[in-house]
Each structure stands twice: as structure tokens, then as C-alpha cells.
Amino acid sequence: MKLIIGNKNYSSWSLRAWLAARAGGFTFEEIRIPLFIPGSREHILSHSPSGKVPCLIDHGFVVWDSLAIGEYLAEKNPQLWPADASARAVARAVSAEMHSGFSQLRQNMPMNIRKDYTGHGHSPEVDADIARIAAIWADCRKRFGSAGPYLFGEFSIADAAFAPVCFRFKTYGVKLDGAAAAYLDTMLSNADMREWETAALAETEAIAAEDLYG
């Protein structure tokens, strides 16, 4: 099994697939391709038909898109989704909402682990995205989180879906309270998240379009 990813400092989509593979207990070769440099798209296209990361290759079978990769891995390890049908439905719903939504947050607070952009990126629309995310976290923890510290108790694809937001909230100094704040602390303390962060901090590539605030 191989997982094609981009820069760990910037590639939020790569993080999601990488965490799902780690949480599922899969052994995989990590192939990191720095983004937006000469030849990077051609290099990615040699692995991924979409020309984007992440891309999973399992014995020659290719799956692209972070959510599709998560679903593929969950077919092999169903524990990546909650066991309860109702919880599993909500987990899929919030993962899909994260996958397709929160455009203002993405645009104005891109993932950039190496920076401290405290106070930057806010607007009424961004703050509305933040409020919605905090509400999702608090609701999932209240209704489904009794068996552990993650959104649905045990770590799931839903947590992987929101992992880049956790790094964003750290970078931009977003303040939460209550259950949402506790969940953010849990995610930032997760061993796999910390490993990814350490690798991101060691990277030297810079993408000017992602370094919005200097």
C-alpha cells in the first residue's frame, strides 16, 4: 500500500487520508510530493489520475480523494466508522459537510502549521464557519462521545476530516470553550497529529499563496 501526499505543512487533504490510514492500522509507504514546484503536477499524475493528492495505491488499485480513501480503508477496517448505525450516519454527514463546506474558513485560514497567524483571517463569514464547526464538535461529543475523547468516542474518519481545522485553529489562535475546546486539545495531543506536525515544522518548502499573512 502506498499513499501519495503533498507538503505536510500545507496539504490538509493529505492529512485526512494519512490519519485514516494510521488509525486503521495499515502499513503503507508514504510518498511525499512537494506541491506547486516545477514537475510536481507531472509527478502526481504518474500516480493519481486526478493530478491531486492524496492518492492511495493498494496492490495497483488506485483510489483518490480523501473521503473516498477513508471509505476504502473502512471497507477493510470497519472500526474507522462508529459501530452504531445512527452514530455512523451522523459521522458520515459531518465528514461530508467538512469535505464540501466551510469555504470561507478554507480561503482565509489555510492550513499552515509553521506559522503563527493569531488574529488573522477573521470575517463574519469565517466566524460563522468557526461557530458551526464548534457546534458540530460539541453536539457529537455530547451525543456520541461517551466511549472516548473523540467525536464518536473512538477515533474515526470524522476526526480525520476535522484534523486540518484543528491545526488551523492553533495557527490562527481561534478560541473555543467547553466541549469544543476540550476536543481541540485532544486532537492536538494525538500522537499521529504530533508526528505530522513535527514533520511539517521540519519542511523547508514555501508556497507563497498559502503564506497569506507574511
pLDDT at res. 84: 98
pLDDT for 214 equals 86
Could you state, in order of their start, the residue ranges of all structural domains in the chain?
2-77, 81-197
**Residue pLDDT, tens place only, 6-36:** 999 999 999 999 999 999 999 999 999 999 9
DSSP category for residue 153: B
Q: Which residues contact 113 (CB under 8 A, 6 or more apart)?
A: 8, 9, 167, 170, 171, 197, 200, 201
Look at domain 2-77 and name its CATH class: alpha beta
Q: Can you say whether residue 207 is alpha, beta or left, with left for phi > 0 and alpha for psi between -120 and 50 degrees?
A: beta
Alpha-carbon gap, residue 87 to 93, rounded angstroms: 10
Give the per-residue pLDDT at 53: 98
Put simply, whether the predicted model's pTM sits higher than 0.85 gets the answer yes
| Grid coordinates belonging to 100 | 464540501
pLDDT interval class at 38 (50, 70, 90): very high
Round to whole Å and give the CA distance between 155 and 89. 15
Q: What is the CATH number of domain 81-197?
A: 1.20.1050.10
Mean pLDDT of 54-73: 98
Q: What is the mean pLDDT of the chain?
A: 97
By the 10 Å C-beta count (0-12 exposed, 13-18 middle, 19+ buried), 125 is classed as: middle
pLDDT at residue 24, rounded to an integer: 98
Q: Which long-range contacts (CB under 8 A, 24 or more apart) does 96-104 make?
A: 96/67, 97/136, 98/133, 98/161, 98/162, 98/165, 99/66, 99/67, 99/161, 101/129, 102/129, 102/132, 102/133, 102/165, 103/129, 104/128, 104/129
